[in-house]
Homo-oligomer: A and B are copies of this chain.
Amino acid sequence: MSNLRTPGPIPVPDDILENMSRQMINHRGPEFKDILYRTTEGVKRVFETKNDVFIMTSSGTGAMEAAVVNTLSPGDKVVNVSVGVFGARFGEIASVFGADVVHLDFPYGTIVDPDKLKDLLNDQPDIKAVLVTHNETSTGVTNDLQAITAVAKTEFGKLVLVDGISSVCSIPLSTDAWGCDVVATASQKGWMLPPGLAFISFSEDAWKAHAEAKMPRFYFDMSAYKHYFEIGQPPYTPAISVMFALDLALQKIEAEGMGSVFERHAGIGQMTRDGVKKLGLSLFPQHESFASNTVTAITVPEGVEASKLLGILRAEHDVVLSGGQQSLNGKIFRIGHLGHTTADEIQEVLDALAVALPKVGFSPSRVEA
């Protein structure tokens, strides 16, 4: 079995995988109703929200679309605060559906400066919503979401839409306490699950926005989800097998406790960063304090061909890492360490890198000396 270390999916614990092969049940029957209510409560606890949370069958991108189309109207002015590929995607979705998107971009490898957002919101009082990525998977950084929402929500009262795809259930995110109106995430991340489900929270302000939001929506219309939830059903046939897996994963998460989940991610993240630095590699984030505890982005050393390095790791060590996306292709590579990731698995990656790097013209020892 490969040591799969992309930033999601990651290997799923055996008992959760076994739950994926349970036989089908009626998604409009009493047994599914129990599962739907129980898992929704569990997801709410992880989100730290008392508000609505819905479980959808889609990838995280579907949940990002749901965040946008359920709360905005064509012509609404929004600011998209971005530090990478997924931040740009959030703005693109809003733009495709007709929002007037003001781009507040920060260089790749850096994080959002809340003061810049403050200046922008002061300058442009007609902005209705702030779209922001909590953890930017493409560059391996975590934004200070609490500081951002303190500006966007507490100070300016804007609607705050959060891409929490690679943070929720791995990195602390207090949906209600921080004033996040919509948070979107997906099953193949910190939840230790296969992909197939996405989760989205909806605050009271989000529902108020929904009542006036005119972007067209059907499959992702949260009012259908809310309506059907009242009778214990999903509006459309869900990925039942992933629901079975979610049910067990939440039991395991509750048994462990969220404090431990966060500490575990922080520890594994630190171990990964310490390890790659010891190999003489450089983290891509401009400061280590920006670095994410779910994915480590590493600068490809001068003269090294990234695809060759990843190919050797896969072929000779059965270690699967991710390259850089779009303009970062060939410039960085990434180690995912979210969800169920052990220290042994990370050590394997580091050991494999120590052997593979010299083969692509980079000598780890040279730098250590």
Q: Which residues of A contact B (CB under 8 A)?
A: 1-2, 4, 6, 8-12, 17-29, 57-62, 65, 92-93, 96-98, 186, 188, 194-196, 215-220, 235-242, 314, 320, 322
Contact = CB atoms under 8 A, between A and B. Distances in A.
B57 A59 contact: yes
A226 to B, nearest CB: 16
Given A59-B236, A320-B26, A97 B216 contact: yes
Given A62-B219, A219-B62, A28 B97 contact: no
A197 B157 CA distance: 39
B28 A6 contact: yes
13 contacts: A4-B26, A9-B25, A9-B240, A17-B22, A20-B241, A24-B194, A27-B195, A57-B59, A57-B195, A62-B236, A196-B239, A196-B240, A215-B216
A286 to B, nearest CB: 26
Given A58-B219, A194-B240, 18 more contacts: A1-B23, A4-B24, A17-B22, A20-B21, A21-B21, A26-B322, A57-B195, A61-B218, A62-B236, A93-B218, A96-B218, A194-B239, A194-B241, A195-B237, A195-B239, A196-B241, A196-B242, A219-B220
A238 B195 contact: yes
A218 B57 contact: no
A333 to B, nearest CB: 13
Contacts of A22: 17
Nearest to A59: B236
B21 A17 contact: yes
Nearest to A224: B61
A9 B21 contact: no
A301 B82 CA distance: 61
A11 B28 contact: no
Contacts of A59: 57, 219, 236-238
Contacts of A4: 23-26
A324 to B, nearest CB: 12
What is the copy number of this chain in the assembly? Answer: 2
Given A28-B6, A242-B196, A98 B236 contact: no
Contacts of A236: 59-62
Contacts of A220: 219
Contacts of A238: 59, 195-196
A325 to B, nearest CB: 10
A209 B11 CA distance: 41
B217 A96 contact: yes
Contact of A6 (B11, B26, B96, B188): B26
A53 to B, nearest CB: 19
**Across the A-B interface, the 5 shortest Cβ-Cβ residue pairs:** A196-B239, A59-B236, A9-B24, A17-B21, A21-B21
Given A18-B21, A58-B57, A62-B58, A9 B237 contact: yes
Nearest to A74: B216
A60 to B, nearest CB: 7
Contacts of A10: 24
Contacts of A27: 9, 195
A29 B58 CA distance: 20
B28 A12 contact: no
A241 B57 CA distance: 13
A344 to B, nearest CB: 16
Contacts of A19: 21
Contacts of A240: 9, 194-196
